[in-house]
Every structure is written in C-alpha cells, then in structure tokens.
Structure 1
Amino acid sequence: MNLHLQPSKVNPQSEIKITGSKSETNRLLLLQALYPNITLENASNSDDSEVMSKALLQDSKSQLPTPKSQLIDIHHAGTAMRFLTAYFATQENREVIITGSARMKERPIKILVEALQQLGAEISYEENNGFPPIRIKGKKLSNSRVSLSSDISSQYISALLLIAPKLENGLKLTLEGKITSVPYIKMTLALLNEIGVETSFVENTITVNPLLTPNSKLLTVESDWSSASYFYSIVALSETGNQIKLSSYKKNSLQGDSALIEIYKNLGVETTFKNNTILLTKIENFHLPSSNFQLDLNDSPDIAQTIAVTCFGLGIGCHLTGLHTLKIKETDRLEALKTELTKLGATIYVTNNSLTLEASSQVNSNIAIATYNDHRMAMAFAPLALKTDLIINNAEVVSKSYPDFWEDLKTIGFSISTQ
C-alpha cells in the first residue's frame, strides 16, 4: 500500500492516545512467561509485540511429547529474535528453531549466542554461522558468569538480564568496551526491580540475583516515547501556537527516547506534563540554531531518523553521532536516510557512526519515499507533508511498532489518500 500525503496543516489543538511502549512490553512479556503471576495492562499493539506474545503463547500451550523441533518465525522482529533466543535457551526439554525474514537472516546474533553458550546453552546455526535461523535445545543453565562485547546492541545485554533471575545462581555480567544505549539496559533492570529482583550496575559489571517467585503484580506499560517522536517532529514543523496532547506518559520514564523533551526544546517544541499526559507546544518567536545542530545519540539511536528529517524540514543542518547500531537494524538506516533525503533535495553525508546534513531551504515535491521494510523510515518522513506533498511506499510497514499511525495523522489534520 502506497500513501499520498498532500500538503497539510495540523489542527491547532489535537489529542492522541498512544499504546504502550514496544520496548517495555516485550521485556514484560518475557518476564510474564517466566513468572505467570505478572499481569500487564496498556501493552503495545505493535506487530513486534504480537509476534513476541504469539511465540511465548505457542510455547506455553505446547504439551509433551513435543515435536523434535518447533519452528518459531519472528518475521522482522529483531527484539523478539534476541529475547526469545535467551528465553528458549532456558526452557528444559524444548527444542526450537527460530527464524525470520530475509533481512533478519542478515542481522548478527553471534555475540548473544556465544554469551548464552558461556552459560551452558546448546545453540547451533541452521544456515550461516553467526546469523539466524538458529536451533536451540533448551536446558538448565548452571553457569552464572558471562562477559560480552557491549558496543553492538543493548538488546543482547537485556536478553541475558531478563532470564537472569530464573538462573539458579543469578547472573554476573561483565561488559567489554563502550556500552551502547545505556537507558535500555537501565529500563530492563528497573522492570526487574519492579517484580522484586535485586540488581546492581557498577561500572561495567551488572549483577542480577535469582528470584523464585515474585508476588502477584499488575504492571502498567508506559506509552511509547519512540512513537511520540513523530508528533514532536510535526509540532516542530507546524505553525506557532499549535499543540498536540499525547497520553499516557511519566515524568520519570524508563525509556531512553524520553530524551526527546530536551532535544526538541532546541528545535522549538515545549513539553508540559499534566496528569500522565504530555502537551507539545510550538514555542512562539523561537530562533532556530544558526549553526549545525549537534547531538550524540548513543543512548537513543532510534530517534535519529526523526531528528534528521525534522532538521531537513526546518532548513537547518545537523551532525548526529553515536549511530553505529543503525547499520544492523531493519535496514541500514544511515544509507537509507542518505538516499531518501537526497531525493528530497538534501545534501547529506554518512559514516558508520554519524550523519551530517547541510542546511538547505530546498524541499522537492511529489517524491516517493522508499521504506525498506523499516517502520521508522515511513513514520520519520511523514511529518514533511507539512512542507510538501510526498508518497510513502509500503506504508503498512508502520504496523511493526505503531499500527494506528496513519489514522492518528488523519485525526490531527493530515490529508492522506491511497495511491
């Protein structure tokens, strides 16, 4: 499905309810599988969370004798691939093969597999060494110490932390190198703390104590800050005085992408908290940065696409660093950004870790944006409909994290039609 976004104006005041964080939901779904007396509310309705839930439900409904090997297909869901690899490694007398899309088979899993093997896991590769699909023979993991490189993806670390309280002796995890996306690691630890797991994170060592059974617990998932980023972009590109209210959000969020509050204050958007909602307001008489807008996004790389597109729409330059993990996402996001922004008239340079956009007032019209099976490509470019008309190819890809995205844009005033 390709969508045509005609030049639009947003309503002066709008309100949107965004479902639970995909990141929090997927962590809590795994913990719920390990500890069934946990109950969740406001869980994400994203494809990734549906895939995760289905795989775990499929496991819980299986009865002995189990098939020799059960096939788990997680499609494009990278988080599910990492988390389920760790989960199934701990499930005694269960054998599964986890596979996914063609792109998923190109995304590395070796670092996590080797860490789990240090703990005693039995995992092998079905096709290419270091990449899915993988075969896992679940067993009791008796070791409690592991070390791994920490500069690739924090999801490897979170996957180990999530199974740690079920290990007989817990886990002592030593991280080697510069740690990427620290807020996501802290989110995982905070969620473990919420169910009663004792943890510590000192320098490059994380310790997680075992927990047999937590008290029954109802956990409410905070709405997704990554999804909020597109509305920050919309307000930044809209007229002075426009407001969008989003729910439900916490001031003391566990999500690293809540960094949007401070980042977008520098791009003309004020954030006000009231009763678990945030009100985004375009600041009056705001003066944009006169030189390149510079950010290190090592802790929140998922919002890089949105920020780069916002800067382009505002006609300002930016230099974004800390982006090395974007090379192994649903697509190579840095190259994809370069290709699509260039179509729109941008001058942009990328390295393995950074993106530099030159200031420009040129925005080409009637450009078709390729999405590369990447939900964030579709959503990051959509706010440019406030500046020009554009076409979003394969727009349904947003269902990976935000199925209601296009309907919510229509609610706030976007003019969208099927091409």
Structure 2
Amino acid sequence: MSIEILKSSNTNNKSSITITGSKSESNRLLLLQAIYPQINIDNLSNSDDSVLMQKALTSKSSVVDIHHAGTAMRFLTAYFSIQQGREITLTGSSRMKERPIKILVDALKELGADISYLENEGFPPLKIKGKKLSKSKVTLKANVSSQYISALLLIASRLENGIELTLDGKITSVPYIKMTLSLLDKIGVNTQFKNNKIVVESQTSDIKPQVLIVESDWSSASYFYSIVALSEKGTEITLTSYKKDSLQGDSILAKIYKEFDVETKYHNNAITLTKSSIVNSQNSINLDLSNAPDIAQTISVTAFGLGLECNLTGLHTLKIKETDRLVALKTELEKLGANVNITDATLHLEASTDIKSDVSIATYNDHRMAMAFAPLGLKTTLKIESADVVSKSYPDFWKDLKSLGFKLK
C-alpha cells in the first residue's frame, strides 16, 4: 500500500492525539512479566513488535519467528537461553538474518549458554537449548547496541549468581540501559550502575504483585514535533500520555526541538507542542545522537523541510537497523533535492530551500522512514511507498495524521 500526501499548507491549528505505550518499555516489561507473572501491564504498545513479543513469549512451538522485530530477537535470545529443558529455533525475516547477533551470543555463551548458528556464523537463525546459567561475569564493548546490554540485564536476576557486566570504553545509548535498570528497580530487583560496571543481583524469591503503567512512546512523538516545527506560528498539538521524568532516551526531543522553535509544556500526563516563531532562530543544527539514534531520521527531515544545515554524529548503530538507515536517508533526501554526505556514524545535510514535488519515498521495510518523511506533506506533495510498514511501531499513524488535517490519498 502506498499513500500520497497532498501538499497542505498547515495542520489544524489546535489538535490532540493519544499515543499508545512505548515499544521500548513494553517489550522490556513483557519479558519481565514472562519471568515474573506477578506483573500486570497497563497502556501496552499496540505495535507489531510488541504483539510479536507477546506471541513469542507465550508460544509452545519449538520454532519462534519474530519477522522484522530486532528488539524481540535480542531479548528472546537471552530469555530462551535460561528456559531450562526447552529447545528453541529463533528465526526472523531475511533482513533479520543479516542483522548481527554475535556480540550477544558470545556474552551469553560466556555465562554458560548453549546457543548455535543454523545458517551463517554470527547471524540468526539460532538454535537455543535452555539451561541453568551459574557464571556471572561478562564484558562487552561499551559502544555496542544497548539492546545487547539490556537483554543480559533483563534475565540477570534469574541467573544463579546474578550478573556483573563490565562495559569496555565509552558507553552509548545510556538512557536505554538506565530504562532497563529502572524497570528492574521498580519490580524489586537490586541493581547498581557505577562507572563502567553494572551489577544485577539474583532474585531467588518471587516479587510482589504490581501494576506497571507504560508511558507513551517518545519516538512516536517525534513525528508530531516535526509537524509542529514545519507548521505556522501558533500551531499546537497535545499528546498523551507523557511525563517530564521519562525513562525514554528520546524524551530529549523536548530539548532538541527548541532549536526548531518548538516549545514543550507538560501538564496532567500530557505534553503540548507549540510553534513559537515563524523565522527559525538557527542556521545550523549540530547534534550528537549517540544516546537517541532513533530520532535521527525525523531530525534530518525536519532540518531539510526548514532549509537548515544539519550535522548529526553518534549514528553508528543505524547501519544495523531495519535497513542501513544512513544510506536510506541519503538516498531519499537526495530524491527531494537535498545534498547529503554520510560516514559510518555521521550525517551532513547542506542547507537548501528547494524541495522537489511528486517524489516517491521508498521505506525499505523501515517504519521510521515512512513516518519521518510524512511531515514533508506540509511543504510538498509526495508518495510514501509500503506505507503500512508503520504498523511495526505505530499502527494508527496515518489515521492520526488525517485527524490533523493532512490530505491523504
């Protein structure tokens, strides 16, 4: 399914959107709930990834297919490695079979896990034989995907001796690690994060019954920040449910989008985004996104739509996402008339005020490509290919865009 977005000079001046729970928080809590059934979850994400995670955790099959869900692949590799007496083949889409998992598998093997590769060394599918893991010390490079680290931390309390994880070098994606540890702390598991060492203690007894409420997804909020940034002065969009002391790294959006003259006000578990100026106060956007790489696509597109230069660093993990997001961004932005230079970890966008019309944007099986480019409908007419890919994280995206006044065909 492709969607054509007809140029619309502005959205409804004041709008309100309810966004479901964070995919990142939901998937962590679903895994913890599988380990500790005393946990109940409210405002769970309705994303494909979270639905797949739920199905996988309750599946009785010996083959678990998680399709494109990268978080699920990493978390379930760790989870099934401690399911004593159970043997699982964990597989995914053709793209998933190209996404490396060796770093996590090596760490789990260091702890005593029994995991082997069924096709290519270092990549899914995996054969996992669940067993009791009694070793506790493991070291990882500090700049690896935080999902590898979180996968280990989420099962750590069920290891015989817990885990002592040393991170070697400069740590990236710290907010996602802190999110995992905060959720463990909330359910009563003892953790420590000091310097480059993380300790999670073994939890021999059950935890007390509790209900945990998932905050709405800040990554999903990013597209509305972009819409407000590209809109007229005074445009307001209210989003629920959000809090100021968020666990999510992408909550840095509120600070970042001040540079695009978007103000954020917090009130009653909601945020209101307001465009505060017609003329952008910046000529150039310069950001290190090593702690929030998932919003790089949105920020790049916002900057392009406003005719600003944009320099982003800390993007090394984008090459192993649903697609190579840096290459995809360069390709699609250049179709629209941008000049973009990339390296393995950086993106440079030249300032340009000319945006081509009637361009067809490829999405590469990547939900964030579809949603990041959609706000440009305020500046030009464009087509989004395979638009239903948004269901991976935000199934109601197009419906919500229509409610704002976007003209979709």
> Is the shorter-chain TM-score for this pair beyond 0.5, marking a shared fold?
yes
Q: 2:116 is paired with a residue of what secondary structure?
A: strand
Is it true that 1:72 corresponds to 2:73 in the alignment?
A: no
User: What are the equivalent positions in structure 2 for 1:78-227 lying under 5 Å apart?
Assistant: 78-211=70-203, 212-227=205-220
Residue 284 of structure 1: how far off its partner (Å): 3.0
Provide the residue aligned with 1:5 in structure 2: 5
Q: How many residues of Structure 1 are paired with residues of Structure 2 in the alignment?
A: 407
Residue 149 of structure 1: how far off its partner (Å): 1.6
Residue 177 of structure 1: how far off its partner (Å): 2.1
Residue 285 of structure 1: how far off its partner (Å): 4.8
Q: d(CA) in 2 for partners of 1:203 and 1:379? A: 37
Provide the residue aligned with 2:15 in structure 1: 14
Q: 1:166 is paired with a residue of what secondary structure?
A: coil
Residue 150 of structure 1: how far off its partner (Å): 2.5
Structure 1: tracts of 5 or more residues without a match: none
The one-letter code sitting in structure 1 at the alignment partner of 2:215 is E
Is it true that 1:251 corresponds to 2:252 in the alignment?
A: no
1:379–1:285 CA distance, 2 compared to 1 (3 A)? closer
Provide the residue aligned with 1:47 in structure 2: 48
Q: 1:127 is paired with a residue of what secondary structure?
A: coil
After superposition, the C-alpha distances for 1:163-208 in whole angstroms (9 at most, x for unaligned) are 0011111110011122120100000000000000111111110000
After superposition, the C-alpha distances for 1:100-138 in whole angstroms (9 at most, x for unaligned) are 011100000000000000110000000000000000000
Q: d(CA) in 1 for partners of 2:388 and 2:172? A: 30
Q: d(CA) in 2 for partners of 1:287 and 1:221? A: 34
Provide the residue aligned with 1:29 in structure 2: 30
Q: 1:272 is paired with a residue of what secondary structure?
A: strand
Provide the residue aligned with 1:260 in structure 2: 253
- TM-score, normalising length from structure 2? 0.99
Structure 2: tracts of 5 or more residues without a match: none
Q: d(CA) in 1 for partners of 2:304 and 2:377? A: 13
The one-letter code sitting in structure 2 at the alignment partner of 1:73 is D
The one-letter code sitting in structure 2 at the alignment partner of 1:18 is I
Q: d(CA) in 2 for partners of 1:93 and 1:198? A: 27
- For the Cα contact (< 8 Å) 2:232–2:278, is it kept in 1? no
The one-letter code sitting in structure 2 at the alignment partner of 1:7 is K
User: Greater shift after overlay, 299-308 or 142-151?
Assistant: 142-151
- Point out 4+ residue stretches in structure 1 off by more than 2 angstroms: 284-288
Q: d(CA) in 2 for partners of 1:410 and 1:72? A: 36
* RMSD (Å) for aligned C-alpha atoms: 0.8
Provide the residue aligned with 1:405 in structure 2: 397
Provide the residue aligned with 1:270 in structure 2: 263
2:379 to 373, 387, 392: 387
Q: d(CA) in 1 for partners of 2:111 and 2:340? A: 44
After superposition, the C-alpha distances for 1:201-257 in whole angstroms (9 at most, x for unaligned) are 111100001122111010000000000000000000001000000000011000000
Q: d(CA) in 1 for partners of 2:199 and 2:354? A: 52
Q: 2:271 is paired with a residue of what secondary structure?
A: strand
Q: 1:206 is paired with a residue of what secondary structure?
A: strand
Q: 2:273 is paired with a residue of what secondary structure?
A: strand
Q: d(CA) in 1 for partners of 2:23 and 2:47? A: 7
Q: d(CA) in 2 for partners of 1:287 and 1:72? A: 49
Residue 153 of structure 1: how far off its partner (Å): 0.4
Q: 2:106 is paired with a residue of what secondary structure?
A: helix
Q: d(CA) in 1 for partners of 2:279 and 2:408? A: 29
Q: d(CA) in 2 for partners of 1:253 and 1:148? A: 26
Q: d(CA) in 2 for partners of 1:219 and 1:226? A: 20
Q: d(CA) in 1 for partners of 2:280 and 2:401? A: 27
Provide the residue aligned with 1:294 in structure 2: 286
The one-letter code sitting in structure 2 at the alignment partner of 1:36 is P
Percent of matched pairs sharing the same residue: 65
Q: d(CA) in 2 for partners of 1:252 and 1:286? A: 31
